[in-house]
A and B are shown apart, each in its own frame.
Chain A
Amino acid sequence: MRRMRPLRLVSLFLFAAVSASPSDQRQLNLDSFEFIWTTVHDQYWDPTFGGLNWQAVHDELRPRMERATNMAEARHVMREMIDRLGKSHFAIIPADVYADLDEREEGSGPATTGLDARVLGGKTIVTTVDEGSPAGIAGVHTGWEILSIDEVPVAPALRRITNLDRDSTMLELHLARSLEAKLSGATGSEARIEFVDGEGRHVTKPIERSEPPGSLSRFGYLPPMHVWFHSRRVAKNIGYLAFNLFLDPAHIMPEFGDALTACADCTGVIIDLRGNPGGLGIMATGMAGWFFDKPDQRLGTMHMRQAPIKFTVNPRLPTYRGAVAILVDGCSASTSEILAEGMKDLGRARVFGTRTAGAALPSAIDKLPNGDGFQHAVADYISEGGKSLEGAGVTPDVEVKLTREALLAGHDPVLDAAIEWIHTRK
């Protein structure tokens, strides 16, 4: 429901091809190709590669890599290599992403309009408008349909993605990323967005993009990203907690704990993970710690080639003992899925919303010899209930879909369902 900020910003920062690589760049690209192949060869959790002949992939693609004359071609071949694995959390992050963001580090990052959108029933619908954001000030309302951004119709690109990913659990995530890429831009730049409002009128709004909310966080070779957390009461005895990424634990974890403590007497709390693409996996167990008073409970197990790593929950004081509802959607991925499914498996939370992205593989990011980042999954992940989340996602206990009508009426059906359930727990 909230603005999705992809953990992997690849789709937001695909740069145009640069001029022909010099010979040293060509060698660096070849070294990068070999680095990727070797890393997967040595670290992929399944030494059989799911039946894929990894050596044959190398031998087939290496000649094409040698013929690549520029960075775009080189990245295309490298992406093709990792795509053959057919798993999430494999990506090439162009070096430009780091340089671009480094230059704009001072309070920056991709600027936003303050609205979030999802594809509902084949239409691009505004699902969130941040209070006080440029979109909010411009009078944009949830439920409005987006027809075009900067005079480019959104439907054709979304149709292409839908055709490509029709059978993938990651379809909603890819659609949302595509929209996010179009909606974001440089600070101060203007997005000209054509809407259909609640009365069916076509409305075009020039909306200036502004700094995203939250503070800029860095972790390893992840591109710097803005991280925010907020909490409030959505009813007298129901707390609501939301955050956009599992990053910046030095700030997010205490805020999460403080919010629960402030709601210690609440009948229930709602953790909104919609649009949250994940982050540091260990934050899931850290957050779960506030909901359990018995040790040695696990959200799941990460299966690496070297050893299984248990996602064991460390109980934290004070234990929150009320009801817990977790909200998810197709853009809840990775650590969000680990937390949601683990809490569900342990019988400690009821999950509301729609199926998650099914992209739950723990991963690491290395710097390649050519300066690009290389994200690669290092483990399979099995939730405590025995379910592999990759390609399957978290199935909510209560499936609730957003509708344009509800959004136009100012309702959030998923949140409403969670509130109603908590009220029954009194």
Chain B
Amino acid sequence: MRLCRSFMPLFLGVLVCSAGWAADEPLPKAEEILDKFVEVTGGKAAYENIRNEKWTGSFEFLGKGIKGTVTSYRADPNKSLTSMELEGVGTIKEGTDGQTAWESSSLQGPRVKKDEERAFALREATLRGPLYWRKLYKHVETIGQETIDDQACYKVVLTPEEGKPETQFYDKKSGLMVKMTATVTNPMGEIPTETMLSDYKEENGLRQPHKIQQKAAGLDFLITIDRFDYNVDLPANTFDLPADVKALAPK
């Protein structure tokens, strides 16, 4: 549900945005902007109707010739499992069981996320994230306007209980989130990321972005989502920790 999520912190991204203040215009409260986003993407009832979500798509590192496929599942309240098949590399998985956030790949082996990284992963895994922003963030504030790809946007800073503030940009006309910036903290360091969201389409009552372009560390990463499905039949053990992750997880 929170498709601004960071799949691979090294590979996230930004698009050009130019500052363009409308100096005298009063800024709406962040609460209004975030609640409006819920309305324009389907409404509270539509969000409350879903128990789980599955989406499939493809991704590529733009200009690098590296491609792959991705399948992602989420379930109430904050369970997730994302599997990426990267050409020439193999499978990279990450997920949460609602408590433990983890990732595993042939490259690095299994790893349990800690502290800020864990908190970020659990926020990202929240199935109805847009609806629950009050639970996920301790403070939200509209700090200005910016023009992004010719769209006038409100700039909202959201501060979580644990972790660094995130900045989201909402189209003034449509109310849709079109960009997010965040600093992802992981064992590789603190990596600034920017994410562009576009191609919103309605499927089964919810409008979701189907193109997500992320930039980080000089790399440009595009995810194209084929489809979303909701309330699908998932095996009961879908979000169970893999055995090698379980061996590392706090007892």
Across the interface, A219 reaches (CB within 8 A) one of B87, B190, B216, namely: B87
User: Does B18 reach chain A (CB closer than 8 Å)?
Assistant: no
Please count the residue pairs between chain A and chain B whose beta carbons lie under 8 angstroms apart in the complex.
89
Selected interface stretch from B39-47, B60-68, B199-207: B60-68
Q: What is the CB-to-nearest-CB distance from A421 to chain B, in angstroms, rounded to a whole number? A: 28
Chain B contact residue count (CB 8 A cutoff)? 30
User: Does B22 reach chain A (CB closer than 8 Å)?
Assistant: no
Contact present for A306 and B109 (CB under 8 Å): no
Selected interface stretch from A46-54, A76-84, A361-369: A361-369
Name the A residues within 8 Å of B10 (CB-CB): 309
Contact present for B109 and A289 (CB under 8 Å): yes
User: Does B23 reach chain A (CB closer than 8 Å)?
Assistant: no
User: Does A202 reach chain B (CB closer than 8 Å)?
Assistant: no
Contact present for A367 and B63 (CB under 8 Å): yes
Q: What is the CB-to-nearest-CB distance from B66 to chain A, in angstroms, rounded to a whole number? A: 4
Name the B residues within 8 Å of A16 (CB-CB): none
| B60 nearest CB neighbor, chain A only | A220
A314 with B216: in contact, given A218-B88, A220-B88 (CB under 8 Å)?
A: no
Contact present for B106 and A219 (CB under 8 Å): no
Name the B residues within 8 Å of A304 (CB-CB): 217-218
Name the A residues within 8 Å of B190 (CB-CB): 307
Give 15 A-B contacts (CB < 8 Å), ordered by A residue.
A43-B218, A218-B87, A219-B66, A249-B89, A250-B89, A253-B106, A257-B109, A286-B108, A304-B218, A306-B191, A307-B192, A307-B217, A317-B247, A365-B65, A366-B63
Contact present for B64 and A366 (CB under 8 Å): yes
Which B residues lie at the A interface, using CB under 8 A? 10, 61, 63-66, 87-91, 106-111, 187-192, 216-219, 244, 247-248
| B14 nearest CB neighbor, chain A only | A306
CA of A286 to CA of B110, assembled, Å = 10
CA of A282 to CA of B191, assembled, Å = 16
Q: What are the 9 closest A-B residue pairs judged by CB atoms, nearest first?
A: A250-B90, A219-B88, A312-B187, A316-B109, A221-B65, A220-B65, A220-B66, A253-B106, A286-B107
User: Does A153 reach chain B (CB closer than 8 Å)?
Assistant: no
CA of A378 to CA of B188, assembled, Å = 16
Q: Please, what's the 1-or-0 string for A310-328, where 1 marks a CB less than 8 Å from any CB in chain B?
A: 1110101100000000000
Contact present for B88 and A282 (CB under 8 Å): no
Contact present for A309 and B189 (CB under 8 Å): yes
**Those of A342-390 within 8 Å (CB) of chain B:** 364-367, 378
| A316 nearest CB neighbor, chain B only | B109
User: Does A21 reach chain B (CB closer than 8 Å)?
Assistant: no
Q: What is the CB-to-nearest-CB distance from A281 to chain B, in angstroms, rounded to a whole number? A: 10
User: Does A210 reach chain B (CB closer than 8 Å)?
Assistant: no
CA of A218 to CA of B106, assembled, Å = 16
Across the interface, A221 reaches (CB within 8 A) one of B64, B107, B191, B219, namely: B64
User: Does A149 reach chain B (CB closer than 8 Å)?
Assistant: no
Across the interface, A365 reaches (CB within 8 A) one of B64, B107, B109, B110, namely: B64
| A305 nearest CB neighbor, chain B only | B218
Q: What is the CB-to-nearest-CB distance from B12 to chain A, in angstroms, rounded to a whole number? A: 11
CA of A247 to CA of B216, assembled, Å = 23
Across the interface, A296 reaches (CB within 8 A) one of B89, B110, B187, namely: B187
Q: What is the CB-to-nearest-CB distance from A278 to chain B, in angstroms, rounded to a whole number? A: 15
| B87 nearest CB neighbor, chain A only | A218
CA of A314 to CA of B245, assembled, Å = 12
Name the B residues within 8 Å of A124 (CB-CB): none
CA of A330 to CA of B244, assembled, Å = 38
User: Does A410 reach chain B (CB closer than 8 Å)?
Assistant: no
Name the A residues within 8 Å of B107 (CB-CB): 249, 253, 280, 282-283, 286
Q: What is the CB-to-nearest-CB distance from A8 to chain B, in angstroms, rounded to a whole number? A: 15
| B109 nearest CB neighbor, chain A only | A316
CA of A295 to CA of B115, assembled, Å = 14
Q: Please, what's the 1-or-0 string for A151-167, where 1 marks a CB less than 8 Å from any CB in chain B?
A: 00000000000000000
| B183 nearest CB neighbor, chain A only | A307
Contact present for A307 and B88 (CB under 8 Å): no
User: Does A107 reach chain B (CB closer than 8 Å)?
Assistant: no
A309 with B111: in contact, given A247-B88, A366-B64, A367-B65 (CB under 8 Å)?
A: no
User: Does A248 reach chain B (CB closer than 8 Å)?
Assistant: yes
Across the interface, B189 reaches (CB within 8 A) one of A289, A310, A314, A316, namely: A310
Contact present for A282 and B192 (CB under 8 Å): no
Across the interface, B187 reaches (CB within 8 A) one of A250, A283, A308, A314, namely: A314
| A43 nearest CB neighbor, chain B only | B218
Contact present for A217 and B108 (CB under 8 Å): no
Name the A residues within 8 Å of B109 (CB-CB): 257, 286, 289, 314, 316-317
CA of A334 to CA of B65, assembled, Å = 21
Name the A residues within 8 Å of B66 (CB-CB): 219-220
| A366 nearest CB neighbor, chain B only | B63
Q: Please, what's the 1-or-0 string for A87-123, where 1 marks a CB less than 8 Å from any CB in chain B?
A: 0000000000000000000000000000000000000
Name the A residues within 8 Å of B111 (CB-CB): 314
